[in-house]
Structure 1
Amino acid sequence: MAENTDVVVIGGGYAGVMAANRLTLRGDVTVTLINPRPDFVHRIRLHQLVGGTGDAVVGFREVLSERVRLTVDSVARIDTAGRSVALASGGTVGYDYLIYAVGSGSADPGVPGAAEFAHPLADLEEAERLRPVLDDAPATAPVTVVGAGPTGIETAAELAEAGRAVTLVCGGVLGPYLHTKGRRSVATRLARLGVTVLDGSGTKVTAVTRDAVRLADGRELPSRVTVWTAGFGVPDLAARSGLSTDALGRLLTDETLTSVDDERVVAAGDSAAPSGLPLRMSCQAAMPLGARAADTVISRIAGERPADLKQSFVAQCISLGRSDGIFQFANRSDVAVGFHIDGGLGAKAKEAVCKGVLKHLADEAGKPGSYRLHRVPGDARRRHLLRAGHGGTPVAVERTA
């Protein structure tokens, strides 16, 4: 009888669920998914949860294979020597292989008053705390959204469409990923919604108080509710467990997503830093990374050399309220190009992406091994950097679809 292999996946986000589902391809593998929540969080809809136009919670059984054992708990520490994880509630879970997919969350703003008076928006609990704060504020009360990446833009648009008086503080450029043409389209739509957009170097936030936001250029903006979307961080579990990480705390791996410290530990998603060149934090990267991580484990079980990472990007999509959006096309190296779809068609494209993400996960649960996007020829710029030996740790500051 073939020996059974136990694989533990830490984190039930886009990368973790994809990896867990794919591992069921082998009948001799037992998969345990450890996640702190009993439901799947569709993070690219959190702005809708805050705006009251949609939900961001999906039952795990809609996207997770029945063969995956779900443990609702948090991991306190990874013991690589003992091949086990210690649970926050007590007890341990052993593993033969571990997939580290803990995702990302809010980063410390490092701005006086922000931790006390601003409301972050990186996970479900933060969105659930923010929603009643907005409900309690008068409709005419000034709302300030800090951060002009996709999360900030989407949140500002959603709240403005609901009739809120919204100021979007960019701290730099509006939509830094976008091509100039796409940025112009987004600015036009935000203006139509009544959003006041403040950009430029003088708009960096220097302090947040209970009822105001102060900028580097000396301006003080009245703000009844301040929403903070500038920057993401990752949990420190890997570092606390003695594993090598980059400056942000992402697990350092080789191009097969295997930890540089332990070939039994494989990373995926926002918390992975392959060759010190982490990918843009996004579900667009997370799902292929999850599939690649699972393939790496499956190859090792079979005694084969795992394939190297391939990652191909195509776009960034941003909703601008319920009837407008933008689908910003990009090359495979994740650089925006001069072509985009906006307006109603852009909104439909974004909605199709949101639904398509869940379909990819559900399809892999029903037919493991069917997902193939992680095999598409990838980023030529990345290959060049690797050949030249230019590994680094660029800090990704926005998480997007």
Structure 2
Amino acid sequence: MTGNTDVIVIGGGYAGVMAANRLTQRDDVTVTLINPRSTFVERIRLHQLVGGSHDAVVEYREVLADGVRLVVDTVTEIDAAGRGLTLATGGTVGYDYLVYAVGSGSADPSVPGAAEFAYPIAALEDAQRLRPVVAAASAEAPVTVVGSGPTGIETAAELAEAGRRVTLVCGEVLGPYLHRRGRRAVAGRLAELGVTVLQGPGARVTAVTRDAVHLGDGRELPSAVTIWTAGFGVPDLAARSGLSTDALGRLLTDETLTSVDDERIVAAGDSAAPSGLPLRMSCQAAMPLGARAADTVLSRIDGERPATLNHLFAGQCISLGRRAGIFQFAHRNDVALWFHIAGRSGAKIKEFVCKGTVKQLADEGRKPGAYGLHKVSGGAKRGQALQAERAAAPATADLGAAAAG
């Protein structure tokens, strides 16, 4: 391709900023980042916003390369055939390549009353709405956090450390990603903070009312504030625009993160489903995926074959209030190991990670192309999983044909 190339990145989170910054390493590429907010959101600190210890935002000038044009707006439709975008403000904009990095948010809860009476926390506006509600509640008012993943654990610990009466409703098990040893460490810290942890088959939420949470075993928990952290969803922009998505709505791509429908569209972050086998939703995955997406676009501009996904995971980091945390180490294919670091050391590691993610984005903005974690081998497990999927596909098709006959 000759002349200038216009690349638009939709979404200014961890993946989108990394992709936009990396794309500026070429002078013949014009990069535009479209995002509905004028500030960068540290999603991994949203529980701190609710607890009052951090505002969870950073100015884009601190993380975004000078060569990236920021447009504060929302994309309402992608016209892949015409290579154009429709904006919420009514305008349209064209592109040569598109990086789809719209991220994720709270899934619409199917539990009766949850959408009406429970507060989500997955987006900045959610946390900002919840913060004054928590602040206005008396210290004795019961707070219920629903969800057993990192967000639920972190929110429960943050509020309990601040003196709140917190119940964490886990459903089946506390911290399903964690190794059993890590899980014990987390449970111990939550007990120190006075958090009541409910788990097991009976601890599934069946309904939420204005002042209570109802469980599957018949228990009714008084709840002045109910916080919903169970499950994530993705925006439906790709599906509404006629692009192929998985069941959750993530854009279907090949292993180079290129849309299965259009080689001019590349996905990154939580909204990408490479080969129908998406990575765990996390900033740990989003930033390398953003770098990989940018490299794919640059390779296509040069007429070269893009490299394929080769992702490495290190584990999971969870804060347990301001004075404790845990880093759960994992195999590079994202399966938890027995080894973890907890307590004050765990808290220091978590804070190092939070600051480090912003620093990595800023470093890539100052020196585009410097980031290289996405090139580190994640091992053979993903390739094996892909081979198994492909081997099973013909058999599934044959069974479907037999059933139809």
Q: What TM-score comes out, normalization by structure 1 length?
A: 0.97
Conserved in 2, the CA contact under 8 Å of 1:101 and 1:267? yes
Distance 1:204 1:381 in 2: 33
Task: Please name the residue that 1:340 is paired with.
Answer: 340
Q: Mark the CA change 1:213 to 1:385 in structure 2 (over 3 Å): closer, same or farther.
A: same
Identity across matched positions, percent? 77
Q: What TM-score comes out, normalization by structure 2 length?
A: 0.96
Query: Quick one: which amino acid aligns to residue 275 of structure 2?
Result: S
5+ long unaligned stretches in structure 1: 393-401
Conserved in 2, the CA contact under 8 Å of 1:154 and 1:321? yes
Cα RMSD for the two superposed structures: 1.1
Distance 1:250 1:75 in 2: 16
Distance 1:203 1:326 in 2: 24
Query: Quick one: which amino acid aligns to residue 98 of structure 1?
Result: L
Distance 1:379 1:235 in 2: 31
Task: Please name the residue that 2:135 is paired with.
Answer: 135
Distance 1:282 1:184 in 2: 23
Post-superposition shift, 1:379?
Answer: 3.9
Post-superposition shift, 1:378?
Answer: 1.3
Post-superposition shift, 1:382?
Answer: 1.0
Post-superposition shift, 1:390?
Answer: 4.8
Distance 1:199 1:367 in 2: 47
Name the SS of the counterpart of 1:144 in structure 2. strand
Task: Please name the residue that 1:113 is paired with.
Answer: 113
Matched, 1:233 2:233: yes
Q: What do residues 225-280 of structure 1 show as CA deviations (whole Å, max 9, x unaligned)?
A: 00000000000000000000000000000000000000000000000000000000
Post-superposition shift, 1:141?
Answer: 0.1
Q: What do residues 145-178 of structure 1 show as CA deviations (whole Å, max 9, x unaligned)?
A: 0001000000000000000000000011000000
Conserved in 2, the CA contact under 8 Å of 1:141 and 1:165? yes
Task: Please name the residue that 1:46 is paired with.
Answer: 46
Distance 2:44 2:235 in 1: 19
Q: Mark the CA change 1:187 to 1:34 in structure 2 (over 3 Å): closer, same or farther.
A: same
Post-superposition shift, 1:381?
Answer: 1.6
Post-superposition shift, 1:387?
Answer: 2.0
Post-superposition shift, 1:136?
Answer: 1.2
Distance 1:85 1:120 in 2: 29
Task: Please name the residue that 2:310 is paired with.
Answer: 310
Name the SS of the counterpart of 2:202 in structure 1. helix
Count of aligned pairs between the two proteins: 392
Q: Mark the CA change 1:390 to 1:139 in structure 2 (over 3 Å): closer, same or farther.
A: farther
Q: What do residues 52-89 of structure 1 show as CA deviations (whole Å, max 9, x unaligned)?
A: 01120000010000100000000000000110100011
Q: Mark the CA change 1:102 to 1:163 in structure 2 (over 3 Å): closer, same or farther.
A: same
Task: Please name the residue that 1:168 is paired with.
Answer: 168
Following superposition of structure 1 onto structure 2, how do residues 1-400 of structure 1 map, counting pairs within 5 Å?
A: 2-390=2-390
Conserved in 2, the CA contact under 8 Å of 1:251 and 1:271? yes
Distance 1:260 1:121 in 2: 32
Distance 1:391 1:207 in 2: 42
Name the SS of the counterpart of 1:316 in structure 2. strand
